[in-house]
Amino acid sequence: MHPAPSIILFTTLSGLGYGLAAVLGLGLLDASGLSVKVAHLAALAMIAGGLLSSTLHLGNPQRAWRALSQWWSSWLSREGVMAILTFVPLTISAWFAVVEGGYQPVAGLVGAAMCGITVYCTAMIYASLRSIQAWNTGFTPLCYLLFAGAGGFLLASVAGYASGAGGTVCAVIAALFVVAAWLAKHQWWTRLRALAPLSTPESATGLGNIGRVRLFERPHINDNYLTREMGFKVARKHALKLSRLAILAGGAMPIVLLIVAIVAGGGAVAVIAAMLAVLLYALGLAVERWLFFAEARHAVMNYYGG
Amino acid sequence: MKSEPHLALSEPVSDEVRKTTCYMCACRCGIDVHLKDGKVRYIEGNRDHPVNRGVLCAKGSAGIMQHYAPARLRAPLLRTGPRGSGEFKEISWDEALALATGWLDGVRQDDPKKLAFFTGRDQSQSLTGFWAQQFGTPNYAAHGGFCSVNMAAAGIMTIGGAFWEFGAPDWDRTKLFVMFGVAEDHDSNPIKIGISKLKKRGARFVSVNPVRTGYSAVADNWIGIRPGTDGLLILAVVHELLKSRKIDVDYIVRYSNATWLVVDAPGTAEHGLFVRDDNGKPQVFETVTEHVVPLGTKGARAALSGRVELPDGRYAVPSFQLLAEKYLDPQYAPEAVARETGVSAEVIRGLAAEIARVAFDEAISIDQPWTDMNGERHEAFIGRPVSFHAMRGLSAHSNGFQTARALHMLQVLIGAVDCPGAFRFEPPYPKPIEAHPTPHGKAEHFGSNKPLSGPHLGFPRGPEDLLIDAQGRPMRIDKAFSWDAPISAHGLMHMVIANAHAGDPYPIDLMFLYMANMAWNSSMNTAGVIKMLEDKDPATGEYRIPKIIYSDAYSSEMVAYADLVLPDTTYLERHDCISLLDRPISEPDAVQDAIRWPVVEPDRDVRGFQTVLLDLGSRLKLPGFVDSRGKALYKDYADYIVRHERRPGIGPLAGFRGSNGDRAGRGAINPEQLDRYIENGSFFSAHIPLEAQFFKHANKAYQDFAVRMGFFDEPKPVTFQLYQETLQKFRLSAEGLREPVAPETHRERILAAFDPLPVWYRPFEEAAVSREDYPYHAITQRPAAMYHSWGSMNAWLRQIHTRNPLYVPAAICDEIGLVDGDWVWVISHHGRIKVEAARMEAVNSSTIWTWNAIGKREGAWALDKDAPEAKKGFLMNHLIHELLPPKGDGMRWSNSDPITGQAAWYDLRVRIEKADRAEVSEPHFSALAQPGGERPHVDELRYGQEWAK
Amino acid sequence: MTLLPSVPTPRKLGLVIDLDVCVGCHACVISCKEWNTGGYGAALSDQDPYGADVSGTFLNRIHTFEVVPEGGQVIGEAGEARIVHFPKSCLHCEDAPCVTVCPTGASYKRAEDGIVLVDESKCIGCGLCAWSCAYGAREMDLAAGVMKKCTLCVDRIYNETLKEVDRVPSCVRTCPANARHFGDLADPGSEVSRMVAERGGFDLMPEQGTRPTNKYLPPRARKPLAASAGAAVLAENTDGAKGFFAWLDGMLDRI
Ligand SMILES: Nc1nc2c(c(=O)[nH]1)N[C@H]1C(S)=C(S)[C@@H](COP(=O)(O)OP(=O)(O)OC[C@H]3O[C@@H](n4cnc5c(=O)[nH]c(N)nc54)[C@H](O)[C@@H]3O)O[C@H]1N2
Ligand SMILES: Nc1nc2c(c(=O)[nH]1)N[C@H]1C(S)=C(S)[C@@H](COP(=O)(O)OP(=O)(O)OC[C@H]3O[C@@H](n4cnc5c(=O)[nH]c(N)nc54)[C@H](O)[C@@H]3O)O[C@H]1N2
Ligand code: SF4
Ligand code: SF4
Ligand code: SF4
Ligand code: SF4
Ligand code: SF4
Ligand SMILES: [Mo]
């Protein structure tokens, strides 16, 4: 699948945003701290930014509101609806934090839950597609949720360390989430790489009983919408290299940095370590998301020799 | 749940439907052009049209994009830059016609042979030929010489008609259909409709073709033959049939020259000719009375074998004996030919067995009494439901004439010509050779300011009809009807530029071309031809070919080489006539012709070429174009179509003649004729009575019908010429026994090739080059969705074939380590090209191929300069030389069939070498300018958006 | 309306495509483009139409496959590779994922006849339906920004301004090889259903669980020519010309 920058940006940013918002909603941090207030606003900005970027690839963005109408069947619609609904508790929480300087547990907890659901919906857009076998697994939402959680706690630990309270708790949980997320992702990759294709050129053409089927001529020799959208292929060699890079940047290094922060227990060292951890994690996540698309083979490629 | 949106499902498609005839290829299907707001909304097949019965191919449906293509020429063009630059200025028609008239008139006064007038994809040859004849140049032909004259000439000379456009399989009845070397053919929609019918009925379809695409892909059996060896395969089948006595004896006795006695007197001028009486009647041996009697003697039972002494003491044998002895020879046994053809003996034997079984065990009968030309009544039409079809895979080889003859011989031997279930003639065919003219163009046939004394093209009956001078030198610029190509019935268009450039046999002043992309895909040795067109005489600084007038409708590669361009309309903007005098669209059951008419008006300063030609004819005051006072006889082509008469009562169109429009074939001029055609869907069809539908070559009712329709003035039955006497006459000349005597240089080749019975010999190029150096065959195929070079300007069609890979057999790929996308050098004795390769399994293991004419010259066809057609597309033509490799005999022979001069496109032998990856195929040529000024770049097309609902 | 019809549609209109006769001529491709570019919804645009990266929206495309036997069914002479031309447009699936994923309700399956359509006035061009379709039957029109797909020529098949015979999809009407058939696959007595039953019509990628309406007819089994070589037809053998001419004389007597 074509790794469109707007979609990668969207899932990365909104994942981080929802993660942070959810963690903030748990009330682990002192809402009166400046950095926590900033965190609330940052979470909203990331979510909004992500959503906005996701409309960039629409052919007719002016009708985007229509995407809210089909929540009874469409995960994309559900995601849209949830995204908007989630803004309500998140805005209330943010209001309380920024204006009142306090934590509103009902809004916070409801918001946290809704963040989770929204992230789940996002993941299910992909996971529900049978045509893309790589995504069509329960591991997909699991990964999305764990990555969002990890990102949330990582960001929260920055805020915690910066405001002087709750940093270590968040950092410890963040580390656990980071480990869990990459373990889940590892499973996802293991599954992907062992996958026997559900559909093959033989099943796609029904000609398997005659012999081995190979594309001879494309219908139109140049690329078309389908091959541009679904025909992206990353070499296995590069995929392995990139996945290691993702684990290193988004997993190993953040853990080391988190340990540094935990050991430091606070202060500038912890803040900087946690911030670095976040940046590296975001980089790792972006690579992971790029691969998420680039490695996924669409069933239609059975018709295009891909 | 909300309700579904309301859809307006019954919107009218268009404001108006105009029915005309497609011209995206030569199949000439009927089309319904839907017009909306004055624009073409939709083109679909005319369901009532006998050719296509409603269906349309990709090209036909893409007519919209052709009609509105930016590559259309907009006004007459006068060259301003050097030839090949593409720099022109647009001029008025008055200027253009005055200029052309001046040039033409000069030549006509001075020496009319200095005009070479050749036409390509022409569908108005009866007009262009007539014009050339009235002009008086001997140098006229259409494209048949480089196309499929082998097929046409062999068919006409053997059975009185050819596969080409003059016959078709009996699709509704045939039980075994064997197709040789066809990718698309002219009859493309009828063939597809036909194949589909066969499949539905469970009839067997065998395709003999080195490549298994298109029709071959759906064939029941594919025989992946090695190119150039079909003759052997066919003769091996004949061998098997003779050996097992699966011959329709009654049929060959009645309808062929099998019983005719052939003089057996080696070393005499009569050897191998038919024994004839004083009236020229062939003689047969009557076995009851044991007398030699004239053919047709009542009650005579003619022998098919035996050696008889003639009254004058010479000996003679029935031609069939020669035939049987020849092919019963073990050299034609399946085992003996398996290696050369690449077809296993089992498959050959299986093919022969199927042919025999279906022909004789599954014979069919139509209970319709009929009477033959001898007055004998038959109770039914007996059919041998085996049919054949062949096209350029056979004919585009230097042994193609004899191969096509072999196939026709096979058809006759099993009694499968024009009977139910077999190949059937389409009127006005069959036509015996006597009904065709002999060629005109000898010195005494033309001169300053006078018409040629007869038609240019025809069939020589012997060496005496050659167009040569006293020294044996060719009279025509293309050397047609000379010793080089004695029976070049369609001329040799592919030799015109090379000969004119070399001044051999003489230089010319003016080349006038119509609808032929000779600077590109219809030339062999394209790069060489481009050089010849650009070449100047250093002494005078003038171009070697001094003046070139060209008519095209689009900015093709050839346009850049013209000095004066006469822009044609598109096919939707003009009158055209698909005439029985020309290349008709008849069916076996019906006589048919058709027209085109302007269903939309041109929006540019362009004119229909035929109208322009008539205008030129009247400006030149050519007889037939002006009246006695020098006034133009015809207002325009539409007027000509209606009022021109070749013989009294016979004009371009057969339908709706007579003052009431109720006469068919013969009849007075009907001023309303075109309106009647338009009302009828732009075609005319007259059914042949059932009694006359089969055995047309010998059917009295058909012959009478043909006379009524005006094909002939008296019945002209055909006797199938298994043994071809004309060819033997050339052999006698080559033996020095007959006048004119063939030159020494040509004797060997005439003796080898002009066998009066079909033979196979190795194609010349293959025989001339080393098998080790050039181990593979290289051929092209027509893509269904492209017509030669024109498809690339069509925004929809070009997406299908934006470039062409070279398809290489899997075994060769594995041998040299090729994977898809690798580049290779393809090298022939003449040149090398560098192209992108792709793997293929379903192909003869020694044959590489590509789609024809996809490669384009940069800048042509109003395509962007970086269009893939110009970057990665390529032509095989660069590898094909118009001459054969030198043999050491001091001659450079033309790369053509030695009998007909047919261009031997598919004789090409090559080797391939892996090359570095590249972005641009080689050779690559400098970019042409867009004639008449660059067109604005088009970012996006949204055709029909204004009608979006 | 993004939900699929809750009960099976009373009619299942669709195409049956005969792989045994499709010669890969692309007639249906262009005819489809031509009909639809001035018909239902936005025009089918072409980008860079005369340039290097030309591409366009097509609702029906012909793929060409090479099939190399691996001890499977013998097709032609044993062991020979063959080419199969493969037309593909929307299969109007019964369990059409393209419909259920659509967030706007633009994609829907008609309850009456099962045709899957896009209501372009609602489509935001998110592309998700194209992702969900395993068959590649949906193409975003880059000029209009809306999803295009085969409409089964809904504006022809019910079009009362057309003659009855012409109320069939454009691609079906034009196919020179008669490889495309249109009809109601819910009616077991319909011609298309009978064809499917007789010829063993099959679904593409049944494992995708989409239950396509369109069916494909497989290439027919072939009888090798070599199998006829041993047949009795050629058994009669007269060894050489002499015997042959003796036989000829006999034949002549019978005429
Ligand atoms: N390698 C290889 N070369 C081949 C062949 C092959 O098989 N392999 N085949 C050969 C054969 S059989 C043939 S017939 C030739 C064909 O070769 P050409 O006769 O050159 O055929 P086209 O490319 O169709 O070119 C015809 C020209 O007519 C122009 N034209 C189109 N419509 C109109 C119109 O309405 N009016 C006018 N005035 N002009 C128009 C086109 O723009 C084009 O420039 O190619 C030959 N060349
Ligand atoms: N779509 C489309 N239709 C066309 C044209 C076009 O350009 N496009 N051009 C028109 C013209 S001008 C012509 S002349 C006709 C030609 O119509 P075809 O004769 O169908 O044209 P080719 O593509 O030359 O096909 C020749 C076939 O012969 C095969 N072949 C080559 N060598 C041999 C051999 O030695 N033996 C056998 N058995 N087969 C061999 C090739 O693989 C190929 O399939 O088509 C006409 N129709
Ligand atoms: S075969 Fe195609 S291009 Fe040729 S006349 Fe018919 S519809 Fe037109
Ligand atoms: S083929 Fe694709 S677009 Fe058509 S109904 Fe099935 S899933 Fe939807
Ligand atoms: S592209 Fe249009 S039809 Fe497809 S899912 Fe999105 S909104 Fe629905
Ligand atoms: S049914 Fe209509 S829309 Fe669908 S592929 Fe055929 S022509 Fe195109
Ligand atoms: S029109 Fe018919 S034969 Fe041609 S590609 Fe389409 S389905 Fe195949
Ligand atoms: Mo041709």
Separation between Cα atoms, residue B445 and residue B476, nearest integer Å: 12
Instruction: Give the gap in angstroms from C-alpha A302 to the nearest C-alpha of chain C.
Output: 9
Q: Name subunits touching A (3+ CB pairs < 8 A).
A: B, C
Which two three-digit tokens encode residue B210?
């080195």
Separation between Cα atoms, residue B423 and residue B411, nearest integer Å: 8
Residue A215 within a domain: no
Closest C-alpha to C52, from B230, B27, B696, B864: B864
Residue A237 within a domain: yes
Residues forming beta bridges with residue B274, ordered by sequence position: B262
Residue C239 within a domain: no
Model confidence at A133, in pLDDT bands (50, 70, 90)?
Answer: very high
Q: How many CA atoms lie within 13 A of B570 on its CB side?
A: 26
Average pLDDT of the residues in B210-235: 97
Residues of B with CB below 8 A from A221's CB? 799-803, 868
Residue A173 within a domain: yes
How many domains does the structure of chain C reveal? 1
Buried (b) or exposed (e) across B27-38, using 16+ Cβ within 10 A?
A: bbbbbbbbbbee
Q: In this model, does residue C99 exceed pLDDT 70?
A: yes
List the end-to-end C-alpha distance of chain C, in Å, as a whole number: 78
* B589 close to B687: Cβ distance less than 8 angstroms: yes
Residues 916-945 of B with CB under 8 A from C: 937-945
A1–C126 C-beta distance less than 8 A: no
Indicate the domain borders of chain B: 1-55, 149-427, 764-912
Tell me the DSSP string of B127-160.
HHHHHHHHHT-S-EE-THHHHTHHHHHHHHHHHS
Closest C-alpha to B909, from B840, B804, B829: B829
Q: In this model, does residue B3 exceed pLDDT 80?
A: no
B60–C29 C-beta distance less than 8 A: no
Which two three-digit tokens encode residue A53?
């970027």
Range of the domain at C91: 13-228
The full length of chain B comes to: 949
Separation between Cα atoms, residue A130 and residue C206, nearest integer Å: 12
Taken in order C110, C113, C116, C122, the sign of the CA dihedral is negative
Instruction: Give the gap in angstroms from C-alpha C18 to the nearest C-alpha of chain A.
Output: 12
How many domains does the structure of chain A reveal? 1
Amino acid at B133: Q
Residues of A with CB below 8 A from B800's CB? 219-221
Average pLDDT of the residues in C28-48: 97
**Residue A104 CB contacts under 8 Å (≥ 6 apart), including other chains:** A92, A93, A96
Model confidence at C237, in pLDDT bands (50, 70, 90)?
Answer: low
Interface test with B, best of A207, A221, A224, A225 (most B CBs within 10 A): A221
Instruction: Give the gap in angstroms from C-alpha C240 to the nearest C-alpha of chain A.
Output: 43
Cα nearest neighbour of B808 on chain A: A216
* Digit-coded pLDDT (tens) for C45-98: 999 999 999 999 999 999 999 999 875 554 556 568 999 999 999 999 999 999
Phi, psi (degrees; rounded to nearest 5) at B539: -65, -45
* Digit-coded pLDDT (tens) for B413-433: 999 999 999 999 999 999 999
Strands C13-18 and B847-851: unpaired
Q: How far is the CA of A42 from the centre of ligand 1 (A)?
A: 67
Residue C235 within a domain: no
Domain spanning B764-912, CATH class: mainly beta
CA angle B308, B311, B313 (to 5 degrees): 75
Amino acid at B202: G
Average pLDDT of the residues in B343-355: 96
Q: How far is the CA of B844 from the centre of ligand 2 (A)?
A: 16
Residue listed under structure tokens 């008055």: B94
C93 touches chain A (CB under 8 A): no
A219–B800 C-beta distance less than 8 A: yes
E strand or H helix at C193, and its extent? helix C191-199
Domain spanning B1-55, CATH class: mainly beta
Separation between Cα atoms, residue B942 and residue B762, nearest integer Å: 53
Instruction: Give the gap in angstroms from C-alpha A305 to the nearest C-alpha of chain C.
Output: 9
Residue B729's pLDDT is 98
CATH number, domain of A252, equals 1.20.1630.10
Q: Whose CA is nearest to atom 4 of ligand 3?
A: B25
Q: Whose CA is nearest to atom 16 of ligand 2?
A: B185
Residue A166 within a domain: yes
* B720 close to B158: Cβ distance less than 8 angstroms: yes
A129–C101 C-beta distance less than 8 A: yes
Model confidence at B626, in pLDDT bands (50, 70, 90)?
Answer: very high
* Digit-coded pLDDT (tens) for A18-39: 999 999 999 999 888 899 999 9
Residue C90's pLDDT is 98
- CATH architecture classification, B149-427: 3-Layer(aba) Sandwich (3.40)
Residue B1's pLDDT is 46
Poorest-pLDDT segment among B197-206, B926-935, C194-203 = B926-935
* Digit-coded pLDDT (tens) for B653-682: 999 999 999 999 999 999 999 999 999 999
Among residues of chain B, what percentage have pLDDT more than 70?
100
User: Quick check: CB of B578 below 6 Å from ligand 3?
Assistant: no
A205–C204 C-beta distance less than 8 A: yes
Residues of C with CB below 8 A from B939's CB? 47-48
Strands C61-68 and C82-88: antiparallel
Average pLDDT, chain B: 96
Interface test with A, best of B211, B796, B798, B800 (most A CBs within 10 A): B800
Range of the domain at A236: 5-208+223-304
Q: Provide residues with CB under 6 Å of ligand 7.
A: C 22-28, 62, 85, 87, 175, 177, 179-180
**Residue B307 CB contacts under 8 Å (≥ 6 apart), including other chains:** B264, B315, B316, B317, B321
Q: In this model, does residue B763 exceed pLDDT 50?
A: yes
Model confidence at B949, in pLDDT bands (50, 70, 90)?
Answer: low
A221–B800 C-beta distance less than 8 A: yes
Among residues of chain B, what percentage have pLDDT more than 90?
95
Q: Where are the beta strands (DSSP E) in B705-860?
A: 776-781, 806-809, 823-827, 832-840, 847-851
Closest C-alpha to B406, from B178, B148, B153, B230: B230
Write the residue in B217, B328, B347 that is nearest to C77 by C-beta.
B347
Q: Whose CA is nearest to atom 38 of ligand 1?
A: B552
Q: In this model, does residue B36 exceed pLDDT 90?
A: yes
List the end-to-end C-alpha distance of chain A, in Å, as a whole number: 11
Separation between Cα atoms, residue B469 and residue B466, nearest integer Å: 9
Average pLDDT of the residues in A118-147: 97
CATH number, domain of C112, equals 3.30.70.20
Average pLDDT of the residues in C152-170: 97
Q: Provide residues with CB under 6 Å of ligand 5.
A: C 101-104, 106-107, 118, 123-129, 147
Among residues of chain A, what percentage have pLDDT more than 70?
100
**Ligand 1 pocket test: which of B128, B185, B521 has the largest number of ligand atoms within 8 Å of its C-beta?**
B521
Q: How far is the CA of B601 from the centre of ligand 5 (A)?
A: 42
**Ligand 3 pocket test: which of B189, B191, B596, B790 has the largest number of ligand atoms within 8 Å of its C-beta?**
B189
Tell me the DSSP string of A67-131.
GGTTTTT-HHHHHHHHHHHHHHHHHHHHHIIIII-S--HHHHHHHHHHHHHHHHHHHHHHHT-TT
**Ligand 4 pocket test: which of C117, C185, C210 has the largest number of ligand atoms within 8 Å of its C-beta?**
C210
Interface test with B, best of A207, A216, A225 (most B CBs within 10 A): A216
Instruction: Judge if the upstream peptide bond of residue B648 is cis by omega within 30 degrees of 0.
Output: no
Residue B888's pLDDT is 79
